[in-house]
Amino acid sequence: PRRLVCAMLSRCTTAARRRARGSTGWGGPWARRSRCFASGMKRGELELEHMRLDSIVLPKRIILLRHGESLGNVTEEAYASVPDHLVPLTKRGRAQAAAAGQRIKHEFVGDDPVHVYVSPYLRTKQTLAEVVKALDSNDIYGAREEPRLAEQQFGGAFQDFEAMQHAKQERMRYGRFFYRFPGGEGGLDVYNRTSSFMATLHRDFANAEIKDPNLNVIIVTHGLALRLFVMRWFLYTTSQFEASLNPPNCGIVEMLRHSDG
């Protein structure tokens, strides 16, 4: 996983040089502006209180992608022996991610520029690794591993299968948004960190390094975090959230900018 993230960031400098030459070749394993994004964008990031609304350029679209099928999706007993953040994709999950990459390329972004945010979990990073194979002609402005996009924390370390099944049944009776797993997070907690991430997004949209009216933002995350991102963005109610379901593995949600900006 560490090598994968480094590979993502290493494409920054290559892509920047390629863009200056006007070339559209891939030129190596990914992102642009490595110094900026590897350091958390300290150089280019604007402080929220100094950010003018007219300095923000909203992206053309935001694409939310759930990870491919993981070992934990096949059997929840995997969480008893594998840390949640290290649960890998299955062979089927990798194929789903590759197919999602082709769909994103041909149905959504074409050859437009891309900027990526990804949960630090292994299954999301493996999903992204397959997706970017389809984006070989795109200028990828940057890639950021974003902890606030991580899976809901279920408490403790390795999961006790029987105790977790009981907790999930209790959650169904109590409500998914407000139920908090013992020692872990509730939907409200994930909502709050998603809200914090949204503030970062808007700072990035004002950053001269990446703002572009043709930009496509791809966010690779988990089912619950994806739904709570949509809830926060569109200000849905908790009742509307409770009525929603996770998208399938590698399900895509497209948020397209209105023509009036």
Active site amino acids? 67, 151
**Residue 19, C-beta contacts closer than 8 angstroms, at least 6 positions apart:** 32, 139
Q: Looking up tokens 């394993």, which residue turns up?
A: 29
Of 199, 220, 205, the residue nearest 143 (C-alpha): 220
Number of neighbours of residue 57 by Cβ within 10 angstroms: 18
Pairing of strands 140-145, 114-118: parallel
Instruction: State which H helix or E strand residue 51 sits in.
Output: none
Query: Residue 43 is which amino acid?
Result: R
Structure tokens, 62: 């935001």
Cα atoms in the Cβ-side hemisphere of radius 13 Å centred on 14: 16
Of 241, 192, 198, the residue nearest 219 (C-alpha): 198
Q: What is the 3-state secondary structure (H, E, C) of 149-193?
A: HCCCCCCCCCCCHHHHHHHHHHHHHHCCCCCECCCCCEHHHHHHH
Structure tokens, 186: 């509730």
Cα distances (angstroms) measured from residue 209 to each of 107, 140, 215: 26, 12, 12
